[in-house]
A = this chain, B = another copy of it.
Amino acid sequence: MPQAESDHSVFRAIADPTRRAILDRLRQGPAPVNELASAFSQSRPAISKHLRILRELRVVSEQRHGRERLYRLEPAELKDVADWILPYRDFWQASLGNLKSYLENE
């Protein structure tokens, strides 16, 4: 039964490099779809699909403005990622500490 339980977490959202780039761009402020599409040398529908995924996971919000749709960063959901990664921090800090000790020939 090949079924991956279709993970709809924000981890999937940021797995794609294009979506990460979109989010990075949106950190500098909201943008309409065309601007994003022209920035990433992909077709506009492709970007639309990425935006749909980000929308459904609440990582961005859409605000219609005339015939444009402004996409805005909604970083709250990204906190899940930060929370997940936090405990690992101790580990690589420990590793760096060990390396430091080693280099200092302690």
Contacts and interface: CB of A to CB of B under 8 A. Distances in A.
Interface in A2-49: 4-5, 7, 9, 11-12, 14-17, 20, 23, 27
A74 to B, nearest CB: 8
A15 B20 contact: no
Given A5-B17, A85-B78, A91 B11 contact: no
Interface in A73-106: 73, 75-76, 78-79, 81-82, 84-85, 87-89, 91-92, 95
The quantity of this chain's copies bound in the complex is 2
Nearest to A59: B88
Contact of A92 (B15, B20, B78, B87): B78
- Which 10 pairs between the two chains have the least Cβ-Cβ distance? A15-B15, A75-B91, A75-B92, A75-B88, A78-B88, A82-B85, A7-B17, A76-B92, A11-B15, A12-B15
Interface of A: 4-5, 7, 9, 11-12, 14-17, 20, 23, 27, 73, 75-76, 78-79, 81-82, 84-85, 87-89, 91-92, 95
